[in-house]
Amino acid sequence: MAEDVGRYNAVDKVIGGCARRGCSFQDMFLATTGRITGVMILKVARVNISVVASISAVISSGVDVAERLGVTTVGFVRTGRMNIYTHPERICM
């Protein structure tokens, strides 16, 4: 877990902390409170994180990049509901 004023910095902190500990990113997903953007998808795809979820929106650049790179994006996550934007086969309901 990491916090920062900027969403990109928080993602960098999480990825860097896990990399220092030698974690396997293939078994992880990224959960965030901020909007999911194309830049964020590029960051997680580089380390093989395949699912990104947020309580906020997935913006169009995030959907476009995630579709191309095979990343599942989930937005507006609430108790009992969510919007799955790309690669829904990874999400079991």
User: What is the CATH code for 25-90?
Assistant: 3.40.140.10
pLDDT per residue, tens digit, the chain (93 aa), is: 555 555 667 788 888 887 888 888 888 899 888 899 999 999 999 999 999 999 999 999 999 999 999 999 999 999 999 999 999 999 987
In 3D space, the residue among 41, 69, 37 whose CA is nearest the CA of residue 56 turns out to be 37
| 33 DSSP 8-state letter | S
Q: How far is CA 13 from CA 64, 77, 79, in A?
A: 24, 22, 27
- Residue spans of the domains in the chain: they are 25-90
The neighbour count for residue 47, using CB atoms within 10 Å, is 16
pLDDT at 93 (0 to 100): 75
What pLDDT was estimated at residue 6? 59
